[in-house]
Structure 1
Amino acid sequence: MLNNMLFKALVVTTEQLTIILIAVASIFLVFIIHAIIKMYKLKAENKKLMETNAFRDADDSYKDFTSSHLYDVDN
């Protein structure tokens, strides 16, 4: 008798399962749309940064410091 009552309490109808699946799918759809919008915004920002001179100047000012005494292999 107890097993029968427990079984009836755990049974999910088709309508309940449909509602749960629609809710979960809606939440994931919101996450996917948010990720797509963010991706396009980051892509546009990256394109804008690549076109500026600040990015090119940063590459030209780089100095190779590996030959300093901290990296001396004769020690």
Structure 2
Amino acid sequence: MLNNLLSKALVVTTTQLTMILIAVASIFLVFIIIAIIKMYRLKAENKKLMETNAFRDADESYKDFTSGHLYGDN
């Protein structure tokens, strides 16, 4: 009797399984949409930062230090 009751409690109908899958898929869809929005925001911020003078000044002040080391170019 206990085994029969337990097996009936664990049975999942097709509609219940479908509702669970729809809920999980919608949650993942929300996460994907949030990730896409963040990607475009980061891309726009990166483009804005690349156009500023601060990045250009830092790039121009770089000096090659490898010639002073023992890399075989003496």
What TM-score comes out, normalization by structure 2 length?
0.79
Structure 2 unmatched ranges of 5 or more: 69-74
| Rounded Cα–Cα distance in structure 1 between residues aligned with 2:6 and 2:59 | 68
Equivalent positions of 1:19-58 (< 5 A) are 19-58=19-58
Partner of 1:70: none
| Rounded Cα–Cα distance in structure 2 between residues aligned with 1:40 and 1:13 | 41
Equivalent positions of 1:4-19 (< 5 A) are 4-19=4-19
**Runs of 4+ more than 3 Å apart:** 61-64
What is the number of equivalent residue pairs in this alignment? 68
CA RMSD of aligned residues (A): 1.9
The letter of the residue matching 2:3 is N
Partner of 2:59: 59
Structure 1 unmatched ranges of 5 or more: 68-75
Pairwise CA distance, 1:50: 0.5
Q: Deviations over 1:17-74 (max 9, x none)?
A: 111000000000000000000000100110111111111112233465xx8xxxxxxx
